[in-house]
Structure 1
């Protein structure tokens, strides 16, 4: 189990992290989400031992992970960290970059292991290519193979697919996270992309201004986010007064509604005027104006025209679920 307790961490005199405390079970995949500057990368660097913090401690099982004030070379043998700087050897080949991180006691298995990793990152045809001649996305995949070379117990990933083309990113995500789950490797992934998180992370921590503001099972957090900030990290979301949706409502609160949660009606519900309809492949995302110039977004299967008037409804189950989350958050 990974146990993290950080009282605070500052760059110069600016506090970056504060009151961070959570645990990660062995084999669990945790996602760290938050806007730029929220502290995701800093947190991974502290866990790995690149940054020193005076207050707090980090343990992997019974072993304390110490920072640069104690270790000349950061990191531990059981832990690997993929940063946004790939730290590759540019003038050597792909296989040499990967092979350098394999155990010297298993030389006879090196080529087999290199080929396994090249297949995982989908670079089998680039074994002899020099790293300096690869694209940024290809270099990121080589860096990923390097940190997996000796199958770490704990893997820290900082925006692991940020430089990779979309058409490769989908299959790579699927192959990588399935591989890590099968191997029982504990993973912390810092990402701003919900596609890295929703299908794969067992649990998600939301960071805002250096603090953990949510820590839940990923599916539960998505379905019932505690606030607009959290919901917006997963994609488009609306924050609407209940009275707009249910005019008879006695409470004066707003709730969060994802675009796909609106139901269209021919004649009853919240009346909106369509402003724009964006093609999203499997559906259209519509921007509309409701009462009091309220802007909202909803989904349809067909394109709507500017000026079209439609009626929107939200189920009582969704409204009640969001109200319960707000009540728990505020209590």
Structure 2
């Protein structure tokens, strides 16, 4: 089990991380989410041992990560870190870049292992291509294969698909994360993309200004976000006064409602006027405004026109669920 406890971590007299504690079981996948500058990358660097931690401890089983003040070469032998800087050998081939990180004691299996990783990252046809001739996305895939070469026990991924085109990103995710699960590798993925998180991470930890603001099983966190910031990391979200949705309500609070949770009616509900409509492929995202100038976003299958008037409803079950989360957070 990976155990992380950080009282605080400061850099040049500025506190970057504060009061962070969590555990990740062997073979489990934890996602780190947060806006840019929230501390995701710094947290991964501290865990890996690139940055010295004075006020806290990082351990894997019985082994404690000692950091750069104790290790001449940063990082622990059981752990690999894929940063946003690829650190590849540009004048050697893709296969050579991967093979360099294989054990010298297992020469007879090198070709088989290189082929397995080339298939995983879908670069079999580029095995003999020099890395300097690859695109940024292809180089990122080679960097991924390199950190997987010796099958680490713990893998730290910092925006692992940031340079990869969407059509390749989807297949790579579906190749990579089940592969890591099958191998029993513990994974921490820092990402701002919910598509990296929702289908694959068992739990998600949300950082804001270096502090943990949410930590839950991923599905539960999505369905029951504790605050607007957390919900917004998964996509568009509305913060709507309950009295606007249910005029008879005596509760003076707002609830978080995703666009797909608002249902359209022609006759009853919250009256809104369409301002803009955005085509999303299999649906439309509509921007509308209520009489009190509250702006709302909701989905429809058919395109609505600017100036159209419709009525929006949300189930009492959804409202009560979101209210219970807020009450639980305040107790």
Shorter-chain TM-score range: over 0.9
CA deviations over 1:271-324 (Å, ceiling 9, x no partner): 000011100000000000012111110000010000000000000110000000
CA distance in 2, matches of 1:315, 1:291: 21
Aligned to 1:309: 309
2:76 matches 1:76: yes
CA distance in 1, matches of 2:76, 2:105: 18
Q: Secondary structure at the match of 1:293?
A: coil
Note the alpha carbon deviations across 1:192-239, whole angstroms, 9 max, x for none. Answer: 000000000000000001001111000000001000000000000000
CA distance in 2, matches of 1:213, 1:315: 27
For residues 126-141 of structure 1, the aligned pairs below 5 Å read 126-141=126-141
The equivalent residue for 1:279 is: 279
Distance (whole Å) between structure 1 residues aligned to residue 153 and residue 52 of structure 2: 22
**What are the within-5 Å matches in structure 2 for residues 168-317 of structure 1?**
168-317=168-317
Task: For residue 252 of structure 2, give the secondary structure of its aligned residue in structure 1.
Answer: coil
How far, CA to CA, are the matches of 2:126 and 2:86 in structure 1?
17
Residue 169 of structure 1: how far off its partner (Å)? 0.2
Alignment match, 1:20: 20
1:48-93 Cα shifts (integer Å, max 9, x gaps)? 0000011010000010011111111011111100000001001110
Structure 2 equivalent of residue 7 of structure 1:
7
Residue 59 of structure 1 corresponds to which residue in structure 2? 59
Between the aligned partners of 1:258 and 1:330, the Cα distance in structure 2 is 22
| 1:110 match | 110
Which residue of structure 1 lines up, in the alignment, with residue 150 of structure 2?
A: 150
SS at match of 1:140: helix
CA distance in 2, matches of 1:246, 1:291: 14
> 1:142 deviation in Å?
0.1
Output the CA distance in 2 between the equivalents of 1:53 and 1:2. Answer: 16
Q: Which residue of 1 aligns with 2:325?
A: 325
The offset of 1:109, in angstroms, is 0.7
TM-score by length of 1: 0.99
Q: Which residue number in structure 1 is paired with residue 167 of structure 2? A: 167
- Give the superposed CA RMSD: 0.5
Secondary structure at the counterpart of residue 292 of structure 2 = helix
Q: What CA distance in whole angstroms lies between the structure 2 residues aligned with 1:147 and 1:291?
A: 55
Q: Distance in 2 between matches of 1:266 and 1:208?
A: 40
Distance 1:330 1:189 in 2: 29
Give CA deviations for 1:105-145 in whole Å, capped at 9, x if unaligned: 11111011101000000000000000011000000000000
Unpaired runs of 5+ residues, structure 1, are none
Cα distance between partner residues in 1 of 2:44 and 2:279: 37
Structure 1 residue runs of 4+, over 2 Å off?
none
* Structure 2 unmatched ranges of 5 or more: none
Residues in 1 aligned to 2:133 and 2:66: alpha-carbon distance in whole angstroms: 37
Hey, what does 1:34 align to over in structure 2? 34
State the SS of the aligned residue for 2:5: strand
